[in-house]
A and B are shown apart, each in its own frame.
Chain A
Amino acid sequence: ETGVTQSPTHLIKTRGQQVTLRCSSQSGHNTVSWYQQALGQGPQFIFQYYREEENGRGNFPPRFSGLQFPNYSSELNVNALELDDSALYLCASSPKTGADTQYFGPGTRLTVL
């Protein structure tokens, strides 16, 4: 059984650019959540996708957007990058939405210069 995978592993962008991060969910999982983890902090919820629809959003501006595809893989897009967007971005999948265990990928380390 393949776990959650994310790409790329590392990324360096400059302020104002746009970035797309990708996530493949674990086999059999239809729900994907994205989290931002700033250095030295706990992960913060960005949003969740369930069956290709956004199923809830944390306190992040609209320049953070996402997609989920029919195979349940997902993308996180961030426009107009700011220095504070530098963080580890974590994707997590679960078999269903609601109060269920989420399994995390290794993350994408984004650095904004």
Chain B
Amino acid sequence: GDSVTQMEGPVTLSEEAFLTINCTYTATGYPSLFWYVQYPGEGLQLLLKATKADDKGSNKGFEATYRKETTSFHLEKGSVQVSDSAVYFCALIRGRGSTLGRLYFGRGTQLTVWP
């Protein structure tokens, strides 16, 4: 079945460090891929998305590229800030031909950035 695997956390970085959070997926068809962020005590916010192979999603300095050949969607940011501290979730939704928009989430990766 469809699933998402994220790198285990927590991840602790100093401000201005480079961030990578790995995400791989298993899915039938052509899924759309997402990164959501959850700040303490809050719901999920969409960070970025990509809907087809080789698409790059980007937002707030974060980027992720849809790699069909490696079934991956790794999240990167060149210089993290303290305000980026949150839990990051990789997710997929089945693509073409599906009438059910069910999101499959990874377990989440806790990021803590120190000043």
Contacts and interface: CB of A to CB of B under 8 A. Distances in A.
Contacts, number: 76
A22 to B, nearest CB: 14
A102 B108 contact: no
Which of B44, B101, B102, B103 lies at the interface centre, i.e. has the most chain A CB atoms within 10 A of its CB? B101
Contacts of B94: 99
A48 B99 CA distance: 11
A21 B96 CA distance: 32
Contact of B108 (A42, A44, A58): A42
Contact of A106 (B36, B43, B104): B43
A97 interface: yes
Interface residues of A, number: 29
Interface residues of B, number: 29
Contacts of B49: 101
Contacts of B32: 99, 101
A41 B9 CA distance: 12
Interface of A: 6, 31, 33, 35, 40-45, 48, 55-56, 58, 88, 90, 92, 94, 97-107
Interface string B92-111: 01111011111111111000
A97 B99 contact: yes
B82 interface: no
Contacts of A31: 101
B66 interface: no
A90 B44 contact: yes
B43 A104 contact: yes
B44 A43 contact: yes
A92 B4 CA distance: 19
B45 A97 contact: no
Contact of B106 (A42, A92, A94): A42
B106 to A, nearest CB: 5
B107 A41 contact: yes
